[in-house]
A and B are shown apart, each in its own frame.
Chain A
Amino acid sequence: METKENQILKKIQSTFILYSNGADNIRKRDAFKLFFEMKIIDVNEFNIFLLNYHLAKSSNQRKCSFEYFLKLILFIYSIQKNKDIEFQYDFNLPTLPEKDEITKSNNIINVLVNLNDYIEVCFPNFDEKLIKRALNSEIFEYLNDFSENLYKIFNENANKSNNYLHYININKLIPLFFELPIYSNINSKDIAQIVSNFICPWKVKVDTSFIKIFDELLSKNNPNFIENEFSLLGIDSNNLNFTFSSFVLLLICFGLHYNKNEATSDLNATEYFIESILELKKNTTEVKFETIDKTESIIEEEETFPESANIKEAFRMIDNPNKDDFSFLQETLYVLDRELLVLEDENENIVYPLEKLSIEVEEEEKRKTDEKEAKIIKLARKPPKRPNDRNAKPPRPHYFEDKPDPDKTNLKYFGYKTIENFTNRLMKQSINDILPNSKVYPSLLKDVLLIPKSIPAEVIKQLIRLNRH
């Protein structure tokens, strides 16, 4: 009796055979189609990047074998369900099944991946030349400065799903073309031709019936005009949803329309389209706060992570005289001893100057104490002042306005030092004032870690390269 796991394996094999036409390898674009058409994963920038990254790791970058194909499915399934799957399988060679089994396998894989609240999203045809030109790293770097305004336009007309997927329906996207000054610069025929490449997997001929949808005058009077026209073509317009990445690619293709003959550079064409026609502005802090939703403005509570095992070991190792910890220390010291310089024992010279210094310090202290005592003795020998003596000074006269004595005012702030003098003297004399008067020992200075906040350029280049393929 076959187990469930073997049944699942056979079904995956059959779909693999369908798309490979009996061969042992699948082309990368066929793998993409399989994952998106069979509704195994959502069409996201993140998922496209993941697939590209993992497919690029295989030995043959343009094709993938059945083993690698299987690993991808299990990896994707584990991400969506947040589980770690462990199948025990045997890699048997695939065999050609009958037609009935193929239809069964297609339906069962949909059951395997029970995606609730799945939203059908369309993706662009990456085989087109225009879209290959649009996937340019220079253009993406240029558009980073306008990302917030673009996202603002997208977010005003977008919907959200429970999986945090933002998408625009075509019923709202076409009226958006009327609001933005695109129709005044591009024909409806060219717009229809470009949009037809972004509706994969559905395929449409660019006929008069399809071009009629993009007519401004007809759609203004009828609110359900677009849905009705698509239903006549046999397509449900509620299934035509665009993500932010496809939206941006669409705008880039409109920009490249001005460079049909490829006379100037693509970058200049996009700059002309974005700055002069759409009149978008670069990112500013004001736009950032407008795009933030109210939910994001709330302070998030700190997530409580489980305690790591390393911390428990660390506390165990503090005062533990176990052999395991001591052996680790011995090994590290043995390793360091080989690298570091060896100090020579020259302690005899160190002791000698120490004795001299101690003697000099004592002599200075003795002098100071003797001077103080001499002053006290002199003052003690003088007779006290009497008011009737001739040698006594007369008292100070009393004025109508009491002038402040400068001596007394200076005594308010740190003795004889005022604030004005304090700032000038603090940095110069503070070290000399402090060290001999107090027991301050020198302290170590820790090296500062300067961690960059931005991603390095090499990582960005890798990401762009992977997204191209």
Chain B
Amino acid sequence: MCDGLYESAINKVERAKYEYNLYKFNDIQFHVYVFILLGNLYENLGCNLMALNYYMQCRQLTNKFEYTNPDAALCYTNIASIFMSWKEYKWALRCFIKARDIKEYIIGGDCVDTASTYNNIGVVCFYLGDFYGAYGYFKLSYEIFNNIVGYNNYF
């Protein structure tokens, strides 16, 4: 994928999914990862509707978790990134808030994953014009990263 060979990557992921289905193991998490991988690949190619299709299929699987697995928030964050590319900031904000609620309920507000969602909500508020809200979310995520990852971090 890093070399830009998206089509070969998509073919390989689909083949892996086909061979995995031959054995018919009832492992939902594998299919969740596969759908998100394919969605990210199509999103990088610019095929946002195709990516949205896979994210919605992932949502049907993650709804079975019912607030027990933090991977349920992955589909909502990726759907929000598609809305950001379409400049639909309100839809993106609603999706990020849903992801935030899931992660706060399962993991808590002190983890790196929740800090990334706070950062993303701040970005959306910046584009909507709510600078005070954005400033608050950015500061919150910054301090969480400093406490967990350290001072000399990429974020």
Name which of A117-125, A195-203, A289-297, A311-319 contacts chain B. Answer: A311-319
- Which B84-125 residues have C-beta < 8 A from chain A? 84, 90-91, 93-95, 97-98, 113, 116, 119-120, 122-123
B115 to chain A, nearest CB (A): 8
> Within 8 Å CB of B131, what residues of A?
353-354, 357
Determine whether the beta carbon of B116 is less than 8 Å from that of A447.
yes
Count A/B pairs, Cβ under 8 Å.
Answer: 103
- Chain B: CB-nearest residue to A426: B152
Name the prevailing secondary structure of the B interface residues.
Answer: helix
Determine whether the beta carbon of A445 is less than 8 Å from that of B155.
yes
Cβ contact of A442, chosen from B73, B91, B123, B152, cutoff 8 A = B123
- Chain A: CB-nearest residue to B30: A451
In Å, the complex CA distance between A88 and B14 comes to 31
Known: A317-B50, A340-B95, A354-B131. A310 touches B81 (CB 8 A): no
In Å, the complex CA distance between A340 and B119 comes to 19
Interface size class of A (residues with CB under 8 A): 35 or more
> Within 8 Å CB of A353, what residues of B?
131-132
**B144 contacts the other chain (CB 8 A):** no
Contact bitstring A150-168, B, C-beta under 8 A = 1, else 0: 0000000000000000000
> Within 8 Å CB of A329, what residues of B?
49, 52
**B138 contacts the other chain (CB 8 A):** yes
**A302 contacts the other chain (CB 8 A):** yes
> Within 8 Å CB of A350, what residues of B?
128-130
**A456 contacts the other chain (CB 8 A):** yes
Cβ contact of A328, chosen from B42, B49, B93, B116, cutoff 8 A = B49
B34 to chain A, nearest CB (A): 10
**A379 contacts the other chain (CB 8 A):** no
In Å, the complex CA distance between A318 and B42 comes to 11
Determine whether the beta carbon of A335 is less than 8 Å from that of B56.
yes
- Which A316-359 residues have C-beta < 8 A from chain B? 317-318, 325, 328-329, 332-333, 335-336, 339-343, 347, 350-351, 353-354, 357
**A100 contacts the other chain (CB 8 A):** no
Determine whether the beta carbon of A310 is less than 8 Å from that of B10.
yes
A400 to chain B, nearest CB (A): 45
Determine whether the beta carbon of A354 is less than 8 Å from that of B129.
yes
Determine whether the beta carbon of B11 is less than 8 Å from that of A442.
no
Determine whether the beta carbon of A318 is less than 8 Å from that of B120.
no
**B136 contacts the other chain (CB 8 A):** no
In Å, the complex CA distance between A100 and B116 comes to 76
- Chain A: CB-nearest residue to B94: A340
In Å, the complex CA distance between A198 and B32 comes to 44
**B45 contacts the other chain (CB 8 A):** yes
In Å, the complex CA distance between A335 and B50 comes to 17
Known: A308-B11, A427-B152, A447-B77. A332 touches B56 (CB 8 A): yes
**B61 contacts the other chain (CB 8 A):** no
**A232 contacts the other chain (CB 8 A):** no
**A87 contacts the other chain (CB 8 A):** no
In Å, the complex CA distance between A371 and B128 comes to 35
Determine whether the beta carbon of B98 is less than 8 Å from that of A446.
no
- Which A206-235 residues have C-beta < 8 A from chain B? none
Known: A307-B11, A313-B50. A343 touches B93 (CB 8 A): yes
> Within 8 Å CB of A451, what residues of B?
33
**B65 contacts the other chain (CB 8 A):** no
- Chain B: CB-nearest residue to A332: B56
Contact bitstring B1-14, A, C-beta under 8 A = 1, else 0: 00000011011101
A134 to chain B, nearest CB (A): 25
**B140 contacts the other chain (CB 8 A):** no
> Within 8 Å CB of B78, what residues of A?
447
**B47 contacts the other chain (CB 8 A):** yes
In Å, the complex CA distance between A350 and B91 comes to 18
Known: A317-B49, A325-B49, A456-B27. A445 touches B119 (CB 8 A): yes
> Within 8 Å CB of A325, what residues of B?
49
Known: A357-B131, A442-B138, A451-B33. A311 touches B7 (CB 8 A): yes
Determine whether the beta carbon of A445 is less than 8 Å from that of B116.
yes
Cβ contact of A449, chosen from B8, B15, B33, B49, cutoff 8 A = B33
- Chain B: CB-nearest residue to A442: B123
Contact bitstring B32-63, A, C-beta under 8 A = 1, else 0: 01001100001001111110110010000000
Determine whether the beta carbon of B113 is less than 8 Å from that of A332.
no
- Which A353-394 residues have C-beta < 8 A from chain B? 353-354, 357
> Within 8 Å CB of B98, what residues of A?
339-341
Q: Chain B CB within 10 Å — which of A302, A317, A325, A351 has the most? A: A317
> Within 8 Å CB of A332, what residues of B?
52, 56
In Å, the complex CA distance between A459 and B24 comes to 11
Determine whether the beta carbon of A302 is less than 8 Å from that of B37.
no
In Å, the complex CA distance between A205 and B145 comes to 74
- Contacts A310-B14, A315-B47, A340-B97 supplied; 16 other A-B pairs, CB < 8 Å: A308-B10, A308-B14, A314-B47, A333-B91, A336-B91, A340-B94, A340-B95, A341-B98, A350-B128, A442-B138, A444-B119, A445-B116, A445-B155, A447-B73, A449-B36, A451-B33
The 9 closest A-B pairs by CB, nearest first: A314-B47, A340-B94, A314-B50, A445-B116, A305-B11, A317-B49, A442-B123, A350-B129, A445-B119
A-B contact pairs, 16 of them (CB 8 A): A305-B15, A308-B11, A313-B50, A314-B49, A317-B50, A329-B49, A335-B56, A340-B94, A340-B95, A340-B98, A350-B129, A354-B131, A442-B119, A444-B120, A449-B37, A459-B25
Q: Which residues of A contact B (CB under 8 A)?
A: 53, 302, 305-308, 310-311, 313-315, 317-318, 325, 328-329, 332-333, 335-336, 339-343, 347, 350-351, 353-354, 357, 427, 441-447, 449, 451, 456, 459, 462
